[in-house]
Amino acid sequence: MEVKVDINLNPYKDRVNRARVIKPIGKVTRVIGLMIEVQGINARIGEVCDIVVQGEAEPVRAEVVGFRDLYSLLMPLGELRGIYPGCAVVPSGHTLTVKIGRHLLGKVLDGLGRPIENHILNGQGEEYPVDNRPPNPLERKRINTILPTGVRAIDGLLTCGKGQRIGIFAGSGVGKSTLLGMIARHGSADVNVIALVGERGREVLEFLEEDLGPEGMARSIVVAATSDQPALVRLKGAFVATAIAEYFRDQGLDVMLMMDSVTRFAMAQREVGLAVGEPPATKGYTPSVFALLPKLLERSGMGRRGSVTAFYTVLVDGDDLNEPIADAVRGILDGHIVLSRSLASRNHYPSIDILQSVSRLMPDIASEEHKSQAGAIKDLLATYLQSEDLINIGAYVKGSNAKIDLAMLKYEEIVNFLKQSPTEHSGYEETLNALASLVSGGK
């Protein structure tokens, strides 16, 4: 008896059609700055190519970023040293990937996801694409669970949810990295993924040893693309860290993604855009910068199974919260924490300006009692700051306004509640009890 087996060959036909049996080899015709002009290849945007340099053991990797006439424009994923006219260029046929697995916990990677420490085996882990699309909005679970950070000012007055995306906005030297380290050490996530994009080389080891510490490092993966790296490597550092966070999220874990900073990511994309020939738009930033920001920031958040709670730092130019990158990022994220230089100058750390900061999800996830207590504290703080000048010069007479009298009475207690040393951990229930005590003590 003849048995017919119905086999669907369409997926295999598609793979055969896409396979490159013969790879055309091109050649380098011109290098201008960091832009490599190549003739003779047929490669897609984002495809990785190998530039073969005679006398070098390893080829120079580069990525296709644009086209000009019949020439492909590549930018290096490393040093340009050794490249000369006529160098052979071989397309790889795929975009950048990174090997990810639990073996990376406690380790430091470079901007391309390669291990910096020699004792890590490159062959370990699962191959995972760096450039992915954000999750389908209809497949994202709603955020309904509180994520304690261990920082009183955040847990008490700016409560965050599991899967929320928050921006930390501040000028230079106000304490962004220290705050990230506190959250990484004391947060309740299963895995921390930390991207240091465009940081000074000196600060990487400082962050690992002082801000993160052994406790935080044990469950963290750090991706470091320092400021001396090519612009494309700094860009890829942000995407590699996001891909690692997505990998663990898809396994059903709760991941904490921390990126310092989105501003330097935007600056790297500006360098790439200007090199390709894009016209500068807002304050020198090219249009592609503002198109790329949501593609990066929307990849974090809730998934079908796990979650990626993300904290992105934004370096505010001249402490101007309305500068283009800060304004664009604030419109994409689910909340913002503003660090104040005036608070930092008074030795108030973490220097969170509670009145300028907001968590858009706190009204949905916090209890009514908690929201009422947080609102009362903010109201007292705002009242005191509005009358601070009158109080300091002695022009305010006690008894004139009961609300101002209460604000004066509680101000020092509120400040002490908001202050916290980097090594101090405050549990969520402990924070709520302190907040309730602070409010009830003034009634």
Buried b (16+ CB within 10 A) or exposed e, 375-385: ebbeebbebbe
Give mean pLDDT, residues 361-369: 94
Least confident window among 16-30, 48-62, 123-137, 352-366: 16-30
Residue spans per domain, the chain: 21-95, 101-366, 369-441
Band (21; pLDDT cuts 50, 70, 90): low
Fold of domain 369-441: Substrate Binding Domain Of Dnak; Chain:A; Domain 2 (1.20.1270)
pLDDT at 120: 55
Per residue in 218-236, pLDDT (tens digit) is 889 999 999 889 899 999 9
Q: Which residues, 6+ apart, have CB-to-CB distance to 337 below 8 Å?
A: 154, 158, 166, 167, 168, 169, 179, 352, 357
Strand (E) positions, 130-233?
A: 165-170, 191-197, 220-225
DSSP letters, 301-366, are EE-SSSEEEEEEEEE-GGG-TTSHHHHHHHHHSSEEEEBPHHHHHTT-SS-B-TTT-EETTHHHHS
Residues 6+ apart with CB under 8 A from 379: none
DSSP assignments along 232-249, one per residue:
HHHHHHHHHHHHHHHHHH
Kindly report the average pLDDT of the chain as a whole number: 88
21-95 carries CATH number 2.40.10.170: yes
Q: Which of 95, 91, 96, 73 shows the shortest CA–CA distance to 20?
A: 91
Percent of the chain with pLDDT over 90: 58
Q: Supply the pTM of this predicted model.
A: 0.88
pLDDT in tens, 152-174: 999 999 999 999 999 999 988 88
Residue 92 to residue 100: CA distance in whole angstroms: 20
Residues 6+ apart with CB under 8 A from 231: 34, 75, 268, 269, 271, 272, 275
**292-327 pLDDT, tens digit each:** 999 999 999 998 888 999 999 999 877 778 889 999
User: Which fold would CATH assign to domain 101-366?
Assistant: Rossmann fold (3.40.50)
Q: Single out the residue of 412, 373, 366 nearest to residue 391, CA to CA.
A: 412
